[in-house]
A and B are shown apart, each in its own frame.
Chain A
Amino acid sequence: MYKYDNYDQQMVDTRVEEFRDQTRRRLSGELSEEKFRPLRLMNGLYLQLHAYMLRVAVPYGTLSGAQMKALGDIADKYDRGYGHFTTRQNIQYNWIKLEDAPEILADLAKVEMHAIQTSGNCIRNISSDHFAGAAADELVDPRPYAELLRQWSSFHPEFSYLPRKFKIAVIAADTDRAAMRLHDIGIQIVKNDAGEIGCAFYVGGGMGRTPMVAPCINEFVPLDDLITYSEACLRVYNRHGRRDNKYKARIKILVHEMGKDEYTRQVEEEFAHLKSQGIEPPLAELERIKPYFADPAFKSGLSDEIDRTDTDFALWVDRNTVVHKAPGYVSAVISLKPVGGIPGDASADQIRLMGELATDYSFDECRVTHTQNIVLPHVEKARLKDLFDILDANGLSSPNLDTIEDIIACPGLDYCSLANARSIPVAQKISERFSGSGKTAELGELKLKISGCINACGHHHAGHIGILGVDRKGVENYQLLLGGSEAEDTSLGKITGPGFSEDGIVDAVEKAADVYIANREDGERFLDTYRRIGMDPFKEAIYG
């Protein structure tokens, strides 16, 4: 894991002092809420329906055991004993007092964490593959590149008042576990024909009310141009992105309206100019960062045998563990989707426990996934049963990874001031319905995602089944979408037809699931069947 040096620590400490000063000026009335708003947003502090919400950055989703434990302590000390893991690999606290916020940032700084640029119209936390460093299929670990980008994007003086927020994801495998092409910039670390490592740039993806899949604008940017090329992409956006309408201000609209070719031409022109400015860190800086992400000391000669006598354990192993590059190890996913629970929520005790388990079972590392679960990336197979027993005793052993119960949901109208409808109760009812009927297992991989408004924080466009909450004449109404994917076969879901009530949408999801079961061919997932047979059979069953 990356460790701060004195410079990194000083930057974060300085930010704490700056925000302490800004908060003081706000509380004294010297700063108006209008002027304070963008400042607090750039420190992750939102004003929601009931209280302030603080969003803490988890760079590329990676945490040490001590950091995870500190997140649990913050939940106890400043919140109501809960934290909420988000679709951008971060954590949010929903019940924060403004006057406590500087103290929380100071507590975070002690464990090399912060809330810098977790909201606001700036470059947000860099996200990445949650199996980085463990996946058998990756070219290299993408996180050193993400860390280089983290430092470049932090306190960037030119790009802190962009037209709109800006999200970057970095991956280094052909299997996309980070929804890379649904980001403002998606970077895939690739190898060219000459065997050199470089970066493929995808620009202009996003969800929200106008979902778009990012086109590739450059298939190979050399590693020692990574920052300069990113700067060129951002400058063209900062200068030409629309500012007249906040709903058309994301870079996807610019790339779409300007056209991919013209946007690319302008980026290349700006890039050629910026090359003369010497803004690229030397490759030595990347080499300095890389050893922090070196493989931990995996034992050799470990057995791949797992004792499957305990059937609950065997089911959890089948569902929630993922193949690892080192023999004798797996990546274990802790589901934060208990049946009837709030997706992504964990209690302070659970958060601290997961931190301890990261230390004891996974070389002091855990990950937050964009699907709102926690990964222990490097677990010895021989110790899996012990791990499972501890998880099971603490309500953390739901065997439902990538099933219809593993729902992504935004906070919705229960918390969020932007929402039109509640998301959480719909997620709870669906997981209860399918768990109760026992159909979860039969359905296999089925990614269901719920957003409580058109801003799409719950990624509904990218769900095999997506649900969008809307307001219809003052009543919550839910639209159903089918056929989305956020993986390497990225696609956007299509709306089936008229919306449903809260109970109606649960019935509609069940009908769609039944159409799949009745029509599937060998080995097909829900998404595959939908793509083969199309929307009509589903429509017929749902509305017929």
Chain B
Amino acid sequence: MVEFLRFRDDEVSESPAVTVDAFGEQSNAGAVRIEPGDDARELLPHLAHIARVEVNFPVFGDGRGYSAARILREAGYEGEIRAVGDVAVDQLAYMRRCGFDAFEPEKAMNEADVKTALERWEEVYQKTVDGRTPIWALRHG
């Protein structure tokens, strides 16, 4: 079973994650946790100092975290973005597309299912932040 999944070569940051509010008062913290109602853009001036951003999904149906991750990547953030909470194998592919590169689900995932889910989509329709070439670009060289 998979309890933690990471697509990075650098060392895992051990800094405890602070809330976005706490980070606002004490911006030397190395890790931040974004809740669904937080504005990811508040972190933009400080991205160079943040090793890890955790994006919490209290319930998988609340999709605000997808926008949060993508906004951070669009702003050039290169640190770890970790999805935590109610994250399941069926959400992995879209989360990868939005810039998540680490997963710490509250319920462990089946290893074979994870592999299938991550390898399933050979092509994609949209350009996002994962560097994949969308179908429209393939069509027009």
Binding site for B on A (CB under 8 A): 5, 7-8, 10-11, 14, 17-18, 21-22, 25, 30, 35, 38-39, 121, 151-152, 154-162, 235, 238-239, 243, 273, 277-279, 281-282, 284-285, 288
Q: Which of B22-30, B45-53, B55-63 contacts A (4 or more CB under 8 A)?
A: B55-63
Whether A121 pairs with B121 at a CB distance below 8 angstroms is no
Residues in B neighbouring A273, C-beta threshold 8 A:
74
User: Nearest residue in A to B57 (C-beta to C-beta)?
Assistant: A161
Q: Can you offer 24 A-B residue contacts whose CB atoms are under 8 A?
A: A5-B139, A7-B135, A7-B139, A11-B125, A11-B135, A18-B120, A38-B60, A39-B90, A155-B94, A155-B125, A155-B126, A156-B125, A157-B128, A158-B67, A162-B63, A238-B67, A243-B36, A279-B128, A281-B136, A281-B137, A282-B136, A282-B140, A285-B136, A285-B139
Residues in A neighbouring B61, C-beta threshold 8 A:
38, 121, 161
Whether A157 pairs with B110 at a CB distance below 8 angstroms is no
Contact of B126 among A8, A243, A279, A282 (CB under 8 A): A279
> What's the least CB distance linking B74 to chain A, in Å?
6
Residues in B neighbouring A158, C-beta threshold 8 A:
63, 66-67, 70, 94, 97-98, 128
Instruction: Confirm or deny: B124 has a beta carbon within 8 angstroms of a beta carbon on chain A.
Output: yes
Whether B127 pairs with A277 at a CB distance below 8 angstroms is yes
Residues in B neighbouring A279, C-beta threshold 8 A:
126-128
Assuming the contacts A14-B122, A282-B140, asked whether A239 and B64 have C-beta atoms less than 8 A apart, the reply is yes
Instruction: Confirm or deny: B14 has a beta carbon within 8 angstroms of a beta carbon on chain A.
Output: no
Residues in B neighbouring A22, C-beta threshold 8 A:
90
Binding site for A on B (CB under 8 A): 36, 39, 60-64, 66-67, 70, 74, 88, 90, 93-95, 97-98, 110, 113, 116, 120-128, 134-140
Contact of B98 among A25, A154, A157 (CB under 8 A): A157
Residues in A neighbouring B90, C-beta threshold 8 A:
22, 35, 39
Whether A14 pairs with B120 at a CB distance below 8 angstroms is yes
User: Nearest residue in A to B75 (C-beta to C-beta)?
Assistant: A273
**Main SS of the interface on chain B?**
loop
**Main SS of the interface on chain A?**
helix
Bound CA–CA A115/B68 (angstroms) = 29
> What's the least CB distance linking A235 to chain B, in Å?
6
User: Nearest residue in B to A5 (C-beta to C-beta)?
Assistant: B139
Bound CA–CA A282/B128 (angstroms) = 15
Whether A238 pairs with B136 at a CB distance below 8 angstroms is no
Residues in A neighbouring B136, C-beta threshold 8 A:
151, 281-282, 285
Contact of A35 among B88, B116, B123 (CB under 8 A): B88
Residues in B neighbouring A21, C-beta threshold 8 A:
116
> What's the least CB distance linking A311 to chain B, in Å?
52
Residues in A neighbouring B113, C-beta threshold 8 A:
25
Whether A161 pairs with B127 at a CB distance below 8 angstroms is no
User: Nearest residue in A to B125 (C-beta to C-beta)?
Assistant: A151
Whether A238 pairs with B66 at a CB distance below 8 angstroms is yes
Bound CA–CA A160/B67 (angstroms) = 11
> What's the least CB distance linking A376 to chain B, in Å?
31
User: Nearest residue in B to A288 (C-beta to C-beta)?
Assistant: B139
> What's the least CB distance linking B123 to chain A, in Å?
6
Bound CA–CA A60/B70 (angstroms) = 30
Q: A273-B74, A279-B127, A285-B139 are in contact. List 20 more A-B contacts (CB 8 A).
A: A10-B122, A11-B135, A14-B120, A14-B121, A18-B120, A25-B113, A35-B60, A121-B61, A152-B126, A154-B125, A155-B126, A158-B67, A160-B94, A161-B60, A161-B62, A161-B63, A161-B66, A238-B67, A285-B136, A285-B140
Whether B126 pairs with A157 at a CB distance below 8 angstroms is yes
User: Nearest residue in B to A286 (C-beta to C-beta)?
Assistant: B136
Bound CA–CA A278/B134 (angstroms) = 11
Assuming the contacts A121-B61, A288-B139, asked whether A157 and B120 have C-beta atoms less than 8 A apart, the reply is no
Whether B63 pairs with A238 at a CB distance below 8 angstroms is yes
> What's the least CB distance linking A131 to chain B, in Å?
28
Contact of B97 among A10, A30, A157, A277 (CB under 8 A): A157
Bound CA–CA A134/B67 (angstroms) = 40
Assuming the contacts A5-B139, A39-B90, asked whether A17 and B67 have C-beta atoms less than 8 A apart, the reply is no
Bound CA–CA A17/B134 (angstroms) = 21
Bound CA–CA A385/B125 (angstroms) = 45
Bound CA–CA A11/B120 (angstroms) = 10
Bound CA–CA A282/B123 (angstroms) = 18
Listed residue (A14, A38, A39, A281) with the most chain B CB atoms within 10 angstroms of its CB: A281
Bound CA–CA A159/B136 (angstroms) = 19
> What's the least CB distance linking B63 to chain A, in Å?
3
Bound CA–CA A38/B88 (angstroms) = 12
Bound CA–CA A10/B120 (angstroms) = 11
Bound CA–CA A159/B62 (angstroms) = 11
Residues in A neighbouring B123, C-beta threshold 8 A:
7, 10-11
Closest 5 CB pairs of A and B: A161-B63, A157-B97, A157-B94, A281-B136, A7-B135
Whether B63 pairs with A159 at a CB distance below 8 angstroms is yes
Contact of A277 among B62, B63, B74, B88 (CB under 8 A): B74
Bound CA–CA A12/B20 (angstroms) = 40
Residues in B neighbouring A243, C-beta threshold 8 A:
36, 62, 64
Residues in B neighbouring A155, C-beta threshold 8 A:
94, 121, 124-126
Whether A156 pairs with B67 at a CB distance below 8 angstroms is no
Bound CA–CA A25/B39 (angstroms) = 36
Whether A151 pairs with B135 at a CB distance below 8 angstroms is yes
> What's the least CB distance linking A59 to chain B, in Å?
14
Bound CA–CA A14/B121 (angstroms) = 7
